[in-house]
Structure 1
Amino acid sequence: MTATMYSETEAVVVPKRSGRGRRRDATPRRPGLLKFGYWWWALPGIVLVIAIHYVATSIGGFFAFTNWSGIGTFEWIGLENFTKIFADPTQIGALGNTLFLAFASVILSNIAGLALALGLNRGLKSRYVLRVLFFMPVVLSPLAVSYVWKFIFDFNGPINVFLRAIGLDEFAKAWVADPTWAIWTILIVIVWQNTGFAMVIYMAGLAAVPVEIEEAAAIDGANLWQRFWHVTLPSIRPAVAIATTLGLVNGLRVFDQIMALTGGGPAGATETLATQVYKESFALGNFGYGAALALLLTVIILVFAIIQQRVANPRTEEA
């Protein structure tokens, strides 16, 4: 009886399939092109990045070791271009100006940006309007901004008009034409335009800082400076790394502001490696020499970016 019940249950619950209606098992897909096909959408972008960044940079790096003038034939001269660079006082001065503008602009713009971010992170009614106003210089054209500031620094511009109005005529001068002050005018323009960018990065970092931690530190008796130094600043370390790295890279390759304000003058007082690359390659026709300057600038940017990242984001050893 048990065998009869089992066969009946099997016949009802698990009916046997006929050979005609049996479904074939799906064959597994072969790995290879089908699996790689999920990445085909990124292929155009990858090709463009390789062609523009890596191939073009490699070609420029190759010409850095030649005497090519931009047209015609060329000869392989090895490290002769680099020897000329470090033996030329103009290029040494350009390197010094490049490093000065890069580090000074990073320090000043990040301090100002962090101060603005801390101030606008509070519950001010006008904080949204102030954020837009402080960020607006970032989206403006560097050339347009520089020409406006050139008018401000002009001998008959607003700064000198104000100085004469308050009886300080002896301090009025042609700021962009003075070898001592020209580099500082460029620094002011760079800091003014980059501060809003640093402010936005720090505001994003501050938004991730829990309010409860600051409140607990305040209850424990920590003052405003102690809360900032021991609570807020360690919490926004990734934002500090991003802001300083981007600011350093932009400062090392500054070009538009210099060409618009001083053109590298007066007497080469505001020349940088970027302006020298342009002048040697396109104005003087020394393409190989200009490529050597560009390669040197690229190596400097890469080295400082790596060092800055390691300093700002030290790796924690796992226990």
Structure 2
Amino acid sequence: MSVYAKFAVLVTCAVLVACNQKKESKVDVVEQRKADSLEMVKKAEEEAKKKPKTADDIKLTKELSYDKHTLEDTYPYQDTSRRFQLEKIKEKLAFVENFQRAPANYGILQNHKNKNKEAPLVKNYHRNEYTRISDSLGNERYQSAPVYAVGETDAPTIYGRDGSLVKLRSTDTLPMIKIEGVSFDGTWEVPKRYVKVIGDTVQFHRVVFVDVTNQNILTAERQGDCDWLIRSMNPATTGRHKPPYAQETPTGLYVVQEKKVKMYYYKDGTTSIEGFAPYASRFTNGAYVHGVPVNNPKGSIIEYSWSLGTTPRSHMCVRNASSHAKFVFDWALKFNALVIVID
């Protein structure tokens, strides 16, 4: 081999060594970034667990964006008075602050009208007075997702209501996804078909509070760490217990999932359209925040009803003044806002 040939071989070897070192270096950088990212998430989770926020940490200031039909903090009703449960609202806002302190990949349980398949029977179930099946917590099978104890596949333990918010913990057990409940407690597994992934960049800074005891509705918007502004305070009418068609508005935490400028509804027990509700924002099952119902499919929008803020009379929905329903419709973005129903 000539001197030049030997030199060429040496150069080639050097280049190959350099390339391999460069590739190894890139791999090392990627692996290090992954390790650093996981470490940051771990530290954030540990920090969030150390000092959870409480109601006392929440600053709640009235700065209305919608100022029609506004109620005071406490207001007269018949021969008594009603109120906005501001301390309870602060407790819920502290919870909202706390579950978002650590980075998370979020999902929503979905099964509106059983579109993702009827959930299997839970281990312990019973039939209610209108023959529908529910779990030990009272969550109905219809329109719910089956929620399994980790590692168990024979039957679900509970039902997760449509619209429930969860954190995704693992997707390597497909067709099951490991979740941590936000709307409910515990770590569970749910079949993938029932989970809509909404990602790790979503932030829940707008919350609609519905009070089924006082029949009112309040909206709150986050401005900074534990700093929230009240955007509206209005009368509302929630769902009543009159099976099989009318049901109570269920308490809990839900995500706004769907919007309809006009939500048409059937006359009970038929498939004939009876009318529509304007500016409807769906948060769980068939429950919407919407305006005053119009019992005429071709009728005009009605702004207000004497029944708002009185007694439950809806089928599950939350009735508002129609202009307030439009405010919520525009303000509470889909997959980016919460509805919290309190009692």
TM-score normalised by length of structure 1: 0.22
Q: Looking at secondary structure, tell me which structure has more helix per residue.
A: 1
Larger Rg: 1
TM-score normalised by length of structure 2: 0.21
Q: Looking at secondary structure, tell me which structure has more strand per residue.
A: 2
The structure with higher relative contact order (CA 8 Å, sep 6+) is 1
